Each structure stands twice: as structure tokens, then as C-alpha cells.
């Protein structure tokens, strides 16, 4: 039987909203298994955090606690609904940073007020955050960053822009990534731009990762070849130094060329001197 406080589905051809969970079930849920993100003002993860919660709200049939369709002042007699609402408040508190919690926490809070307060913290100064993120996004250069770190910073800035209502298109991500590449990848720009169909941001990233790996292996091979050549040269120089800097010539064996064998190299026997008295 449908709950009287369930929200009505906007799709007349779809399935009805799921039955809301009971207060007993809500108190047993470990929300961090459903929302594995800690919301932090210093991290561009508001969209990810709110998306995980949106899935949980729909999965547990409790969207009416955050979508503004129910006024909590009219629910004072519905103990079950109020208990679920209090459980959701604890979920929200458990998945935000300490700084953000200190900024929004209030006694006897409601899910709707906490949810909207968090949204205001992230979206209230959207224009300023968008201007700052756009400047950083369009001026980012790879420098000595690896492709993975460069991609991560681009993605973080793009997520920030998405959170403040200024999403970057996939083709815009590719163009900006190519613009800020280290010059050693300049040969890649033409290849990526000429690809048909055009590469997505993920495909361009994968292609650049392969090029980075190829360049690293080529560098290692060149270094190994240079070291081998140096070692060979040192060994050759060492052999030459052992002979006084000159290449030793083969030994010359004298030959007997005088007539009669007078030039023989055979040692002559010397006559023994007779020292006996005469």
C-alpha cells in the first residue's frame, strides 16, 4: 500500500515511486556504502556527492524529504516520517567535511534545510567561482606534469565549472588539453585533431598516455645505447694506455743471411782457457 507521504511519479507510463523505507531500516543503513564521497569546499565533488545522494533518495523512496514537496511543519504527527528525516540529516552530516559541517549545523535540523544549505554553500557564489575556474582552466599548462596529473587537474577544474552551472563540452576539454601540452607532445596535436571520428576527451587522454610511454621507453633505450658506447670507448682507451699509447708491433725474428752461415744466431762456444802451469 502506498504511503500517504510518497511523492507522485512525474512519468505516467513509468513505475510508481518505491515504497519509502521504515525508520528502523533507515537507522541501520551505513550511508557511506551508498555515498562514497566526502563533500569538501576545497574539492570539486559537489556534483558527484549530490548525484550519489539523489540515487540513494530514489532507491529508498525518500525524495520527498529534499524535493520541497512536503512541509515538515505538517508532519509533526507522523513520527515515522520524522524519524526517517532525522536519519537522513545524520547521513548528510556524516558525508561532509568538518569545515562545512561547522558552517551549516544547527540543533533539531531538518533534511530539507541541511540539503538546501549545503547547495547554497557551493552554488551561492557561483559567478565568482565560475570566473576563477574558467581563468585557471584556460591558462593551465602541462609543464613537467605527467599526462595523468595534467588530465586530473583539467578534470578537476571542469568539474568545478559543471558544479557552478558552466559545464565544458567534451570537445572543449580536448581542445584545451591539446593547447596546454608540453612541447614534446607537439607531434600529437595534429594526429588528435585529424582523427575521424573526432576523439573524445577519454580517447585523447589514452592516446597521450601511450605516447608518453613510448617517449619514456625511447629515452631509456637511447640512454642505454649511449652508456654502452661509452663503456666500449673506455675499454678501448684503457687497452691503448697499457702500451704507452702506441699499438704494439709484432716481434721480429732475426734470420741468417750471411754466406756460409756466418750470420747464424746460434751462440758460439768459447774456448776454455788452459790455466795449467807449463
Stated as kind and residue range, the H or E segment containing 161 is helix 147-163
Residues 23, 137: Cα–Cα separation, whole Å = 45
Q: Average pLDDT in the 204-214 region?
A: 93
Per-residue pLDDT, 212: 92
Nearest to 72 by CA among 123, 100, 110: 110
How much is the pLDDT for 228?
64
CA separation for the pair 46, 183 (Å, rounded): 34
Asked if 115 and 66 touch (Cβ cutoff 8 Å), the reply is: yes
Is 185:208 a contact under the CB 8 Å cutoff? Answer: yes
The whole-model pTM stands at 0.58
Rg (CA), the chain: 42
Tens of pLDDT, residues 145-202? 999 999 999 998 998 898 888 899 999 999 999 999 999 999 899 999 999 999 999 9
Using an 8 Å Cβ cutoff, are 13 and 52 in contact?
no
CA dist 165 and 163 (Å) reads: 6
Domain ranges in the chain? 23-123, 126-217
Residues 6+ apart with CB under 8 A from 148: 209
Nearest residue to 136 via CA among 169, 160, 164: 160
According to DSSP, residue 33 is labeled G
Task: Cell numbers for 103, please give them.
Answer: 558552517
Mind listing the pLDDT tens digit for each residue in 241-261?
555 555 555 555 455 544 444
What's the CA gap between 249 and 92, in Å, rounded?
Answer: 91
Q: Which residues contact 119 (CB under 8 A, 6 or more apart)?
A: 50
Measured CA to CA, the distance from residue 37 to residue 95 in angstroms comes to 7
User: Can you tell me whether residue 70 is helix, strand or coil?
Assistant: coil
- Kindly report which listed range (16-20, 30-34, 233-237, 249-253) carries the lowest average pLDDT score: 249-253
Amino acid at each position: 500500500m502506498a504511503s500517504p507521504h510518497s511523492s507522485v511519479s512525474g512519468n505516467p507510463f513509468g513505475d510508481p515511486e518505491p515504497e519509502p523505507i521504515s525508520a528502523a531500516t533507515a537507522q541501520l543503513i551505513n550511508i557511506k556504502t551508498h555515498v562514497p564521497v566526502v563533500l569538501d569546499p576545497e574539492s570539486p565533488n559537489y556534483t558527484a556527492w549530490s548525484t550519489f545522494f539523489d540515487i540513494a533518495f530514489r532507491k529508498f523512496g525518500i525524495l520527498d524529504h529534499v524535493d520541497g514537496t512536503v512541509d515538515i511543519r505538517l508532519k509533526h504527527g507522523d513520527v515515522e516520517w520524522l524519524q526517517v528525516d532525522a536519519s537522513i540529516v545524520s547521513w548528510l552530516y556524516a558525508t561532509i567535511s568538518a569545515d562545512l559541517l561547522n558552517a551549516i549545523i544547527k540543533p533539531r535540523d531538518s533534511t530539507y534545510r541541511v540539503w538546501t544549505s549545503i547547495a547554497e554553500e557551493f552554488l551561492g557564489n557561483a559567478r565568482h567561482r565560475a570566473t576563477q575556474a574558467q581563468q585557471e582552466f584556460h591558462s593551465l599548462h602541462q609543464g613537467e606534469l605527467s599526462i595523468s596529473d595534467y588530465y586530473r587537474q583539467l578534470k578537476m577544474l571542469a568539474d568545478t565549472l559543471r558544479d557552478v552551472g558552466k559545464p565544458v563540452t567534451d570537445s572543449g576539454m580536448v581542445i584545451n588539453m591539446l593547447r596546454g601540452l608540453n612541447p614534446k607532445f607537439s607531434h600529437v596535436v595534429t594526429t588528435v585533431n585529424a582523427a575521424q571520428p573526432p576523439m573524445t576527451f577519454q580517447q585523447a587522454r589514452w592516446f597521450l598516455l601511450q605516447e608518453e610511454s613510448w617517449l619514456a621507453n625511447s629515452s631509456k633505450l637511447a640512454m642505454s645505447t649511449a652508456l654502452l658506447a661509452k663503456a666500449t670507448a673506455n675499454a678501448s682507451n684503457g687497452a691503448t694506455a697499457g702500451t704507452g699509447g702506441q699499438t704494439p708491433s709484432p716481434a721480429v725474428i732475426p734470420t741468417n743471411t750471411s754466406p756460409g752461415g756466418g750470420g747464424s744466431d746460434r751462440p758460439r762456444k768459447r774456448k776454455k782457457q788452459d790455466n795449467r802451469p807449463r
